[in-house]
Chain A
Amino acid sequence: MDIVVEQRTPATVVHITGSVDGLTADTLMATLQQQIDAGNTRLIGDLSGVSYTSSAGLRALLATVKQARTAGGDFRLAGVLPPVHKVLEMSGFTTILKLYPDVDGAVASYPA
């Protein structure tokens, strides 16, 4: 899994590529946590390069959305691929997290 963080005012985009599984979820969690700690609470997870996730990955997403909202921001997802969308749906996360077709749409969803 690779992670690239990009500031796209007014949001912070975390581009994730690869598998978010039991081996990589902690790294993702730590990266997202760092952003929240730095005050970047308007977060976007770009999942257009993520082909696999398990409950370990969802744990990281859930913890992040809780913390971001507590801090007055949010954690929104962009470009979710069908297999990952299925996992989000099975867990009911599609009703908790806001999903956008692409990063541009997710950035535009935050008030400037």
Chain B
Amino acid sequence: MSDEGAELEMEEEVCEARRERLGDLLAFVERACALAALDADVAFDVRLATEEVVTNVIEHGYAGAETPGPISLRFHRDPRQVVVTIDDLAPPFDPATVRPADPSAPLEKRRIGGLGWHFVTRVMDEVRHEHRHPRGNRLTLVKRLAED
């Protein structure tokens, strides 16, 4: 399974999008990166982008809802790329409305937070968002693997 270039499809991790489950979700992506035998740099980027998206769904996705809905996390590796798919049933998320982070802002103007989405788009090669029917969001994060 850890052979170079091997395919890996991890079983889906599904849980309620609440903070208490963040540990399970982060453990899932760490385990997947290890099983997929990713280079440390690639694993770091995949882990970072996934944590930022998952945290965003937990903290903002179901904001206002009485109880949070589900979040599901899938991980697929083939010889060319790693694909992480995050699904939720939250109200539509529009990436275009995310206030861009300003890495050149001085300390006084820095907001606590607001960096997560910036990291996602910086470290992944492709970030796709789809509205799911009848509701929910799907974010697909793609990291291409260097060819030998």
Q: Sort chain A's interface into a size bin.
A: 20 to 34
User: Contacts A23-B26, A91-B103 given: A54-B110 contact, CB under 8 Å?
Assistant: no
Q: How large is the interface on B (under 10, 10 to 19, 20 to 34, 35 or more residues)?
A: 20 to 34
Residues of B within 8 A of A90 (CB): 103, 118-119, 122-123
B127 at the A interface (CB under 8 A): no
In the assembled complex, the Cα of A91 lies from the Cα of B55 at a distance in Å of 18
Given contacts A90-B122, A92-B103, contact A54 B44 (CB under 8 A): no
The B interface is mostly helix, strand or loop, or mixed, namely helix
Residue-wise, chain B 109-132 has the 8 Å CB interface mask toward A (1 for contact) of 010110110110011000000000
Please tell me if the beta carbons of A23 and B23 are within 8 angstroms of each other in the complex: yes
Given the complex, which residues of B lie within 8 Å of A59, measured CB to CB?
A: 112-113
B44 touches A56 (CB 8 A): no
* Interchain CB contact under 8 A, B107 and A69: yes
Residue of A at shortest CB range from B58? Answer: A22
Provided the pairs A65-B107, A87-B48, A92-B104 are in contact, do residues A55 and B26 lie with their beta carbons within 8 angstroms? no
Q: Are A55 and B52 in contact (CB under 8 A)?
A: yes
Decide: A63 near B44, CB < 8 A? Known: A22-B55, A23-B26, A56-B55: no
Seen from chain B, the residues whose Cβ lies within 8 Å of a Cβ on chain A are 22-23, 26, 40-41, 44, 47-48, 51-52, 55, 101-107, 110, 112-113, 115-116, 118-119, 122-123
Residues on A lying within 8 angstroms of B by beta carbon are 21-23, 52, 54-56, 58-59, 62-63, 65-66, 69, 83, 87, 90-92, 95-96
* 6 nearest CB pairs, A to B: A92-B103, A55-B115, A55-B116, A54-B51, A83-B44, A96-B107
Known: A22-B55, A54-B51. 7 other contacts (CB 8 A): A52-B47, A54-B48, A55-B115, A56-B51, A83-B40, A90-B103, A91-B101
